[in-house]
Amino acid sequence: MSDLLARHLARSGTSVVETIDSHAAGEPLRVVVSGYPELPGATILEKRRAARDRWDHLRRALMLEPRGHRDMYGCLITGPATADGDLGVVFLHNEGYSTMCGHGIVAVVTVGLECGLISPRDPGAIRIDTPAGRVVARAYLEGERVTAVSFRNVPSFVLHHDLEVAVDGIGRVRCDVAFGGAFYAFVELTCNPELEGLELSSDRCASIIELGRRISAAVRETVEIAHPEGDADLGFLYGTIFVAPSAAAGVHSRNACVFADGQVDRSPTGTGVSARAAIHHARGEVALGETLVIESVIGSRFEVRAVAETTVGERTAVIAEVTGSAFVVGHNRWLVDPEDPLGRGFLLR
């Protein structure tokens, strides 16, 4: 610690939170290294509740302005909640705490291994306990550098096929509601003439956010969102994902995901492409083992394939495997001054 920082802390009583910042396919992940209390709880869902109920001011301080922004995303690494687990994770965003995060798994494995934060028994089978359940990741290494990460997700399944909802200002919109670690409404533009003209590009984010909010609200008002076997904390619609064809060679389609409080995913959304694997497999459009390349609003890509069939309750489900890459972009030491009236975070937009 520098003498300047030490003097500042002694003078003001300011606390310090250290993070390592990264991105996977353009979507940020701020991994907390120190300065966060140890989360109590026997399960990751219990740890998630403790973070929400007791230390939410720290999430706000790290995710929101002036240290973050509306689209910041974060991760707390915890001890595992299972006897054979390597680590646990709790994911943070502008509104609260997600149940699973695919880009977050890619990034936290990359950060964890490259920066020495995790020491799994086997880099080829890293057992991660998430609020949604067990995820197993594989890191591809060149020396000490992680070049890519694949992970086998919790079971993904379709909850509602061809659901039609009345959306304020738009009309009837057709969608599928599916789970890939979180629930999303999937809206294919080619199946919805009311949305003709919407471009899934970075310069149309304002329109994408507005429409995504409306559709999410309509789905929540129309159907019950409940996981057939999971905890009640999993039973909520996380957001809306728009799907459109892609003109890029070798790319199946494009995703634009609006989640939480109007966040736009820069990545293709790991939980989203997992749920899409379940949707396409249920329709008979892709076989087990067939790889789909899906791009985001900025053109970044994830690969996804359904590798096995399973069931969730009475529903047919698949195990999806997602592959992507992440990069470390900074090491940071954040100061949280109790006398700063804006220190616990705010949002302008």
User: What phi and psi, each to the nearest 5 degrees, are found at residue 100?
Assistant: -160, 160
CA gap 18, 77 in Å, rounded: 13
The active-site residue, picked from 101, 175, 191, 257, is 101
Listed as own residue / partner, the contacts of 33-38 with beta carbons closer than 8 Å and 24 or more positions apart are: 33/117, 35/334, 36/76, 38/78
CA gap 93, 77 in Å, rounded: 15
3-state secondary structure of 132: coil
Interacting residues of 25 by C-beta distance below 8 A, sequence separation 6+: 103, 106, 266, 267, 268, 296, 300, 301, 302, 324, 325, 326
Assess contact for 130 and 107: CB atoms under 8 A.
no
Residue 115 among the catalytic residues: no
Interacting residues of 304 by C-beta distance below 8 A, sequence separation 6+: 273, 274, 276, 277, 291, 292, 294, 320, 321, 322, 323
Strands 156-167 and 74-78: unpaired
CA gap 263, 214 in Å, rounded: 14
- Residues recognised as catalytic: 101
